[in-house]
Amino acid sequence: MKKIRIGAGLGFYGDSWAPIATTLARGEVQYIGSDHLAELTLAILHKDRSKDPQAGYTRDLVPMLTALWPAAQARGVKFLLNAGGLNPEGAAAALRAEFAKRGWRAKIATVSGDDVLDRIDQIRGTGATLSHLDNGASIYTVRERLLFANAYLGAQPLVEALGQGADIVLTGRVADAALFLAPLVHEFGWGWSDWDRLAQGITVGHLLECSGQGSGGNFNAYGERGWQTIPDYPHLGFPIAEVSEDGSAVITKAPGSGGRVDFDTLRQQLLYEVHNPHRYFSPDVVLDMGTLRLDDLGHDRVKVTGATGLPRPNALKVVAGYADGWAGSATIGYSWPQAYAKAQTAERIVRQLIAERQLEYEDIHTEFIGLNSLLGPLADTSHAEELNEVYLRMLVRTPDRRLAEAFPRQFPWLALSGPPTASGFSGMDAPRALLGLWPTLVPRDLVEAQVKVSVSAT
Amino acid sequence: MRLVDIAHARSGDKGDRADIGVFARNAGDYAIIRQALTAQRIAAHFQGIASGAVEVWPLDNLWAVKIVLNNALQGNAARSLRSDNLGKCLAAALLRMEIGNPDE
């Protein structure tokens, strides 16, 4: 039976591509699927594009493919990447320019049409409400503050690009798992209503889309086979899927790489960012994980079978982002003795001062780094009195940028005029723009009618 | 006994929802965690962090329980003021839960 091997690319904008080089050298893959877009990445790209209309794609694309392409081309490996972000055409232009400079040949495809920001009113005109998916609020409550609005596309346009001979497929927002489903549909000719096989493909994609998390990274387990027993973190290999025509798959990684692929590391990734596991929505199929089987074959190989697919939804998910005020923050440290008491006193002083100075904030958030900044109210504070050091970290949220800027200025004087042993102040950076998210649904046809696939050679 | 003694877990984020997958290492431990991880107990455990409904989805085929915490991330990761804006440590926070000793 024909088998296709697909390797995991990046799991987020900023991830390392060294493990992809290992996969190319020793993983015997035909495809790499690379996920550069977390839910919030488009906000960063929006900022880039507002400064430069040619930008708006993830800047790791060109250096990454420049580093990897010679090895990929020598082995005939193709890439599917959502690094196009808000500007797949701009991404392709930048990549073509770099490849041309080096005299490299590649067929580069773009998939666009996910961006619906300029079509909000038009879509509303057809009767779709674009109301908030969770609370039903009207999109006009945030309309003027929207920064981006993108639909999650499925695998079909990516399959079309591969069908036209693309070596590198650059997309904007697509379902992460579609980057992996597309080569399977292209190679095996699965039907678009072959729900169980599509569901296997989505399962494979979901296991690979977070790079090292599918092979022992961020493995939150303790004891005998816990995180401390994961081999060779510095060379952790990204997961590789070996998929058969019937949809059954073995997840593994490059021989000799670090990390671990076993029942436990894979289970952690399988359920990651899944809500109802019997209704895991993708644009191409709804996956029911209740029938899945993971069989640990040993030697970093786990067989994945039994996914159940239900017909695809009629609506596509759109995630929009809108400007939602500013955060100002400051951090100041105190040493033993009585480090925690000093930090608590500093907090009280700051709260009193901002009240007296009538600086009004929507929210004031306090954390004590070293004590409760990661576990919050669930932290065990029984040893707080003897801590070697504690950092007070305070943040405020406000619609007014100047009020956010004013907040950290309440801190520096504490060094000489507050509790003793203050050190390690930080916070005079510019305030951080906060972002609200607007998840909603849009009828599939309205988006898909605008999807465009174009292929050009360098 | 604490949950960390018999299970492992990973958490993630989508919008204002945090989700936690909890995994038992054998069928016996799975039965224990299924019984221990009720929506009510989890909601009480995460008081002060998550204010919305708690969903619990057991998966017998994986000896796993999927937990969804609504209204858990101050709106979403890009609006949150917390250091753990993505809720990556919520799985660890859950593993600290006392689940009673089956030998008692």
Q: What is the pLDDT of residues A24-63, one digit of tens each?
A: 999 999 999 999 998 889 988 998 998 999 999 999 999 9
Phi–psi pair at A381, nearest 5 degrees: -105, 20
* Subunit contact B45:A39, Cβ cutoff 8 A: no
Per-residue model confidence (pLDDT) at position A429: 84
> What residues of A are in contact with residue B25 (Cβ under 8 Å)?
264
* The token pair that represents A456 in the structure block: 């050009």
Residue B59 DSSP SS3: strand
Per-residue model confidence (pLDDT) at position B101: 65
> What residues of B are in contact with residue A273 (Cβ under 8 Å)?
12-14, 19
Flag whether residue B30 sits within 8 Å of chain A, measured between CB atoms: no
Q: Maximum CA pair distance of chain A?
A: 76
Per-residue model confidence (pLDDT) at position B102: 54
Flag whether residue B10 sits within 8 Å of chain A, measured between CB atoms: yes
> What residues of B are in contact with residue A380 (Cβ under 8 Å)?
96
The enclosing H or E element of B11 equals strand B7-14
Residue A411 DSSP SS3: coil
Are B72 and B52 a contacting pair, CB within 8 Å?
yes
> What residues of A are in contact with residue B95 (Cβ under 8 Å)?
220, 222
Q: If you ran DSSP here, which 8-state letter would residue A362 be given?
A: S
* Subunit contact A378:B13, Cβ cutoff 8 A: no
Say how far apart CA A6 and CA B1 lie, in whole Å: 42
Flag whether residue A165 sits within 8 Å of chain B, measured between CB atoms: no
Report whether pLDDT(A418) > 80: yes
Q: For the segment A153-204, what is each residue's pLDDT rounded down to a tens digit?
A: 999 999 999 999 999 999 999 999 999 999 999 999 999 999 999 999 999 9
> What residues of A are in contact with residue B10 (Cβ under 8 Å)?
213, 218-220, 268-269, 271-272
> What residues of B are in contact with residue A264 (Cβ under 8 Å)?
8, 23, 25
Q: Evaluate the CA torsion angle A288, A290, A291, A296 in order and state its sign.
A: positive
Confidence of residue A428 (pLDDT cuts 50, 70, 90): confident
Are A113 and A453 a contacting pair, CB within 8 Å?
no
Residue A189 distance to chain B (closest CA, Å): 30
Per-residue model confidence (pLDDT) at position A91: 98
Are A304 and A207 a contacting pair, CB within 8 Å?
yes
- B-facing residues of A in 322-341 (CB < 8 A) are 324, 327, 329
In a 13 Å sphere around the CA of A421, the CA atoms on its Cβ side amount to 17
* The token pair that represents B5 in the structure block: 């003694």
What mean pLDDT is reported for chain A? 97
Say how far apart CA B45 and CA A194 lie, in whole Å: 42
Identify any residues that bridge with A366 across adjacent strands, giving them in sequence order. Answer: A394
Flag whether residue A272 sits within 8 Å of chain B, measured between CB atoms: yes
Are B45 and B2 a contacting pair, CB within 8 Å?
no
End-to-end CA distance of chain B: 10
Are A158 and A169 a contacting pair, CB within 8 Å?
yes
Q: For the segment A297-312, what is each residue's pLDDT rounded down to a tens digit?
A: 999 999 999 999 999 9
* Subunit contact A365:B59, Cβ cutoff 8 A: no
Taking CB atoms and an 8 Å cut-off, how many pairs form between chains A and B? 144
Minimal Cβ distance to A436: which of B13, B61, B79: B79
Radius of gyration of chain A (CA): 25
Say how far apart CA A115 and CA A198 lie, in whole Å: 25
Say how far apart CA A222 and CA A233 lie, in whole Å: 16
* Subunit contact B64:A271, Cβ cutoff 8 A: yes
Flag whether residue A221 sits within 8 Å of chain B, measured between CB atoms: yes
Report whether pLDDT(B103) > 70: no
* Subunit contact B64:A395, Cβ cutoff 8 A: no
> What residues of A are in contact with residue B12 (Cβ under 8 Å)?
272-273
Flag whether residue B46 sits within 8 Å of chain A, measured between CB atoms: yes
> What residues of A are in contact with residue B76 (Cβ under 8 Å)?
39-40, 435-437
Flag whether residue B2 sits within 8 Å of chain A, measured between CB atoms: no
Are A24 and A77 a contacting pair, CB within 8 Å?
yes
Minimal Cβ distance to B92: which of A213, A220, A363: A220
* Subunit contact A393:B83, Cβ cutoff 8 A: yes
Flag whether residue A273 sits within 8 Å of chain B, measured between CB atoms: yes
Domains along chain A with CATH numbers:
3-114+152-313 (no CATH), 320-437 (3.30.70)
* The token pair that represents B21 in the structure block: 């997958």
Are A61 and A102 a contacting pair, CB within 8 Å?
no
Q: For the segment B40-78, what is each residue's pLDDT rounded down to a tens digit?
A: 999 999 999 999 999 999 999 999 999 999 999 999 999
Contacts of A58 (CB under 8 A, 6+ apart): A13, A36, A37, A41, A45, A83, A85, A91
Contacts of B58 (CB under 8 A, 6+ apart): B34, B64, B65, B66
Residue labelled with tokens 């970290």: A393
| pLDDT, average across residues A83-93 | 97
| pLDDT, average across residues A270-283 | 98
Contacts of A176 (CB under 8 A, 6+ apart): A35, A37, A82, A205, A206, A209
- pTM for the model stands at 0.96
The enclosing H or E element of A398 equals strand A389-398
Say how far apart CA A378 and CA B11 lie, in whole Å: 15
Say how far apart CA B61 and CA A203 lie, in whole Å: 15
> What residues of B are in contact with residue A43 (Cβ under 8 Å)?
78
Pairing of strands A286-288, A308-310: antiparallel
Report whether pLDDT(A17) > 70: yes
Minimal Cβ distance to B78: which of A40, A221, A292: A40
Q: For the segment B80-98, what is each residue's pLDDT rounded down to a tens digit?
A: 999 999 999 999 999 999 9
Identify any residues that bridge with B61 across adjacent strands, giving them in sequence order. Answer: none
Phi–psi pair at A69, nearest 5 degrees: -60, -45
Q: For the segment A107-129, what is each residue's pLDDT rounded down to a tens digit?
A: 999 999 999 999 999 999 998 99
| pLDDT, average across residues A142-149 | 95
> What residues of B are in contact with residue A367 (Cβ under 8 Å)?
82-83
Residue A89 CB burial class (10 angstroms; 0-12, 13-18, ≥19): middle
Flag whether residue A436 sits within 8 Å of chain B, measured between CB atoms: yes
> What residues of B are in contact with residue A363 (Cβ under 8 Å)?
81
**In A245-314, at which residue ranges do the beta strands (DSSP E only) sit?**
249-253, 280-281, 286-288, 293-298, 301-305, 308-310
Phi–psi pair at A282, nearest 5 degrees: -135, 165
C-alpha distances in Å from residue B56, one per residue of A303, B40, B42, B53, B66 = 26, 10, 9, 10, 6
Residue A410 DSSP SS3: helix
Report whether pLDDT(B104) > 50: no
Tell me what percent of chain A is helix, strand and coil, each rounded to the nearest 5: 35, 30, 35
Per-residue model confidence (pLDDT) at position A326: 97
> What residues of B are in contact with residue A277 (Cβ under 8 Å)?
57, 59, 66
Residue B27 distance to chain A (closest CA, Å): 14
Q: Provide DSSP, A156-190.
A: HHHHHHHHTT-SEEEESSB-TTHHHHHHHHHHH--
Residue labelled with tokens 């917390």: B82
Q: For the segment A323-354, what is each residue's pLDDT rounded down to a tens digit?
A: 999 999 999 999 999 999 999 999 999 999 99
Are B9 and A220 a contacting pair, CB within 8 Å?
yes
| pLDDT, average across residues A402-428 | 95
Report whether pLDDT(A412) > 80: yes
**How many residues belong to chain A?**
458
Residue labelled with tokens 């492992």: B8
* Subunit contact A277:B61, Cβ cutoff 8 A: no
Are A442 and A318 a contacting pair, CB within 8 Å?
yes
Flag whether residue A366 sits within 8 Å of chain B, measured between CB atoms: no
What mean pLDDT is reported for chain B? 95
Say how far apart CA B67 and CA B73 lie, in whole Å: 15
Q: Which of A70, A91, A94 is nearest to A82 (CA)?
A: A91
* Subunit contact B57:A273, Cβ cutoff 8 A: no
Flag whether residue B29 sits within 8 Å of chain A, measured between CB atoms: no
Q: Which of A243, A88, A248, A54 is nearest to A174 (CA)?
A: A88
Residue labelled with tokens 């989505």: A202
